[in-house]
A and B are shown apart, each in its own frame.
Chain A
Amino acid sequence: MNARLRRKAGLAFVAPTALFLAAVIVFPLAHAFYTSLHRVRGLNATFIGFGNYARLADDATFWHSLGVSFAFTASAVALHLGIGLALALVVNELRAARTALRIVFLTPWMVAPAVGATIWLWLLEPQFGVVNYLLRAAGAIAAPVAWLGEPGTALASVVAVDVWRGVPFVMLLMLAGLQTIPIEQYEAASIDGAGAWTRFRFVTWPNLRYLVVVATTLDVINTIRHYDIIGVMTGGGPAGATEVLPVLIYNTAFRGNRLGEAAAIGVALLGIVLVLAVVYVRTARLDDGTRR
């Protein structure tokens, strides 16, 4: 088969996938952008150019929501990584029950986010929730705490639930990374008299650094797009305290019935995620270069 034919055959093989991706990714994205250029009220749409974007730039709710998104993402990702790494280090040291523990730790990740969020919604219920009951029984609080009713505790609660759900995945990634570190490096460090902290600092961390960067970028991309837990637990409340961008999109589109504005917020969110994706790709390439 000559080169031209081979090229054509290759294109033919790729075509179905390319068409499928165009249908499920390119078309919806293009349609979202098209919608963002319209004033949409129900089934009626009027072209307004970049009017929705101008409105967004002037909309305090959007900027507030962007701030909440960054706060939610930064705290959730930091905790995912911190706790995930700590758990991975502990599980990696274990000789017995490692598989069993891995399954136990993975359980929250296996639960559908909406189901997990609903369970937590009732656990945190002020009057009848188990959390307040236990805290009161232990004497830690005198009166019921409205975990989802105050801005500070509401944001902390949704972050906590996201951490409960997100840590297992990061832990698994880190555990996989830890198991690729050659045992000889630890043995050499031990012979040199390195303690646990020194071994972590000079053997574990350098070996894991690339994985941490990749995991962080992927986790940020994943968390900033997160809807389920907040949508179920607070719907963005109280008073917008937990209204991250995806929840704002939902509230604007389906509660507010302003699909054009919602699409413009969606496009803005896509822009943020694309920047993060570029960071991720560059990091991955950089690492390829170093390793080659």
Chain B
Amino acid sequence: MNRSIGSLIAVAVAALAWSVGAAAQQPIVVQWQTANLTESQYEPVWKQTIVEFEAANPGIKVEPVLVARKDHWTKFVAASQARKAPCIVSVDVTTAAYNGYLMPLDKYWNAEPAAFRSAWSDAMLSSAKWKGQLYGLPIWGGTYAEIYNRDLVVKAGLDPNKPPQTFDEYVAWGKKLTGNDRWATAVLGGKTDTTTRVLLMWIWANGGEAFNADMTEATFAKNPRSLEAIKFYLGLADKSAIAAPAPTTTNYLEQTNLYAQGKIATMRNAYWAIAKVVGDNPAMAGKSFVAPPPANVPNAPTLSTVTASSISASCQHPDAAWKFIKFDADRKWSIARAKVANWMPLRNDLADDPEIKADPLLGQFVRIGRNARSYPLPHPAWAEIAANDIVDAVQKALLAPDKTDEIFRDLDARLTKKLRDI
């Protein structure tokens, strides 16, 4: 009896030791979620990044989390609430940090050599900070400009070397570019924050402001120049009749589809949209040219997005996650991203890189981006405001243009309340 109990204990101890040993040999797994892993042009690059990272770090395995762009934020929030968020994420830093979803990275950042840190400007880093702490490493970005289909412009008898400079010139071009089952552009009113990005640019281009300086008050209707710009932009679909139908369901995906199929001649977007268009329709390669967004005031800024890699607060292996973030921020991958997906590197030391300079369109976007405001706007409620409230107001105004004043006055009141409720 005693002997069999002893044997049983020995077997149990051996099994335990084996399982502990096996667990020790298991690589650390870190999950990686961004809104861009599902974009086909980027796929070969991120796959290769993971392969090379895992080869260089045999103890770490990176598991990509593929999620549709529109579900990226909500999936991250749901996972964060369950304390199971992927380790490496690219989200709206201010909103996520305010909600406690991200880990401060200062410990890792400060431990890096000066040579590494000097590749990021203070201004760039400030876009990934909340209350003085760093919550993300800016990896890539995109400047918004007006992108034109050269063939359609020439066919309409317009000169690609003299793109429209003002709102009126834009409409004049638009009328010539609109024809049977074809439109000059697309007004964005779909339910993502791309709608908000484009609206903000039109407001800035008219000398308006959507918010006051410290973001405690919304001024979409309060500022007459903002309201004028909103009416002009949304009126492209109705009054000017130069935009594709169904603006309330049109977003990045629909806009780039329309442009790729030659249904619209111009689109307000970043350089990455050209990569998407060529991916959808290879015949569009080399057919686009780019110009600064038309503006009614001198030196109107455009918009530049900043995508930063962060570590979620629930990450069990932050050291491994930081290693991957650094690896992914390396020159090699920054250039590869710029080449295949047209995502602009945000490192100082790559601005003059010969491979970046060799791409004339990218150079043009860089020049336009010298006068750009950083996006997302720095407010903890920004993710909701940008994707819900502003989009809802845009949709309502598109459906009832005669009520635009009232709709945006309501938006101002609603947003001002939200901006102060933190």
Contacts and interface: CB of A to CB of B under 8 A. Distances in A.
A63 interface: no
A149 interface: yes
Contacts of A125: 254
A42 B80 contact: yes
A44 B248 contact: no
B387 interface: yes
Contacts of A177: none
Interface string A129-171: 0000000000000011010111100000000000000000000
Contacts of B380: 41
B388 A146 contact: no
A150 B249 CA distance: 9
Name, among A128, A148, A255, the residue most crowded by chain B CB atoms within 10 Å (CB to CB): A255
Contacts of B81: 43, 259
B283 interface: no
Majority secondary structure of chain A interface residues (helix, strand, loop or mixed): loop
Interface string A204-248: 000000000000000000000000000000011111100000000
A146 B384 contact: no
A251 B254 CA distance: 22
B99 A149 contact: no
Majority secondary structure of chain B interface residues (helix, strand, loop or mixed): helix
A238 B100 contact: no
Contacts of B80: 42-43
B246 interface: yes
A128 B81 CA distance: 39
A51 interface: no
A67 interface: no
Interface residues of B, number: 41
Contacts of A237: 190-191, 248-249, 391-392, 395
Contacts of B381: 257
A256 B73 CA distance: 10
Contact of A143 (B245, B254, B388): B245
Given A42-B101, A43-B100, A235-B191, A149 B248 contact: yes
B246 A257 contact: no
A34 interface: no
A254 B77 contact: yes
A99 interface: no
B188 to A, nearest CB: 12
B74 interface: yes
Contacts of A251: 388
A148 B190 CA distance: 11
26 contacts: A41-B380, A42-B100, A43-B313, A126-B245, A126-B246, A126-B249, A127-B246, A127-B257, A127-B263, A128-B257, A144-B246, A148-B246, A149-B246, A237-B249, A237-B392, A238-B189, A238-B249, A239-B392, A239-B395, A240-B392, A253-B77, A254-B74, A254-B78, A255-B73, A255-B388, A258-B384
Leading 8 A-B pairs by shortest Cβ distance: A42-B99, A146-B246, A254-B74, A43-B100, A238-B248, A149-B246, A239-B395, A126-B246
